[in-house]
Amino acid sequence: MIRILGCGSPLVGDDGIGVHIANKLMEMRSELPDNVEVIDAGVCGLELLNFMENAKKIIIIDAVKGAGDIGSVHRFGIEDIKRAASSNVISIHDTGLADVLCIAEHVQEMPETLTIFAIEVEETDKISIGISDKVEASVDEVISMILDEIKPKQGS
């Protein structure tokens, strides 16, 4: 099972880009392989652990701030995320994606592969419905990258 998780809050502008892309992928359901499940994971925090259960491959789509130009797309693997993880989890209310993934490694079986597509955003702290133009411009690129990621490999 390949599980694609769109993360973020669509009520906070660009922060909802992961959910926005997940919804677009759901509209493309007929074009996706049968073993692919797309989920609107919202602002799941530790609930992400449940979404990772029984998946061979996890793809997470989320917003990132401070990694490049607004609208740029970054592809990270689990090792990249581990390097970014904070050393101490002080409060589960402030638990970030890197922290959740580090917890997952200790409490459950991890998927064979975990990939994160992070889109550089600008505004993530103002109530706003909709995605900015620069971030919206990255949607097709991310979808194309995800389709390449889930495409059955020759000889498989």
Instruction: Identify the residue with better confidence: 25 or 91.
Output: 25
Is residue 95 domain-resident? yes
Is residue 85 domain-resident? yes
Q: Give tens-digit pLDDT for 39-67.
A: 999 887 778 788 888 899 999 999 888 76
Structural domain for 111, as ranges: 2-150
Is residue 155 domain-resident? no
Is residue 7 domain-resident? yes
Nearest-angstrom CA–CA distance, 4 and 51: 9
Is residue 96 domain-resident? yes
Is residue 9 domain-resident? yes
Is residue 117 domain-resident? yes
pTM above 0.95, yes or no: no
DSSP H or E segment with residue 75 = strand 73-77
pLDDT above 90: residue 96: no
Question: For the domain that residue 58 is a member of, what is the CATH number?
Answer: 3.40.50.1450
Query: How many domains does the chain fold into?
Result: 1
pLDDT at 25: 97
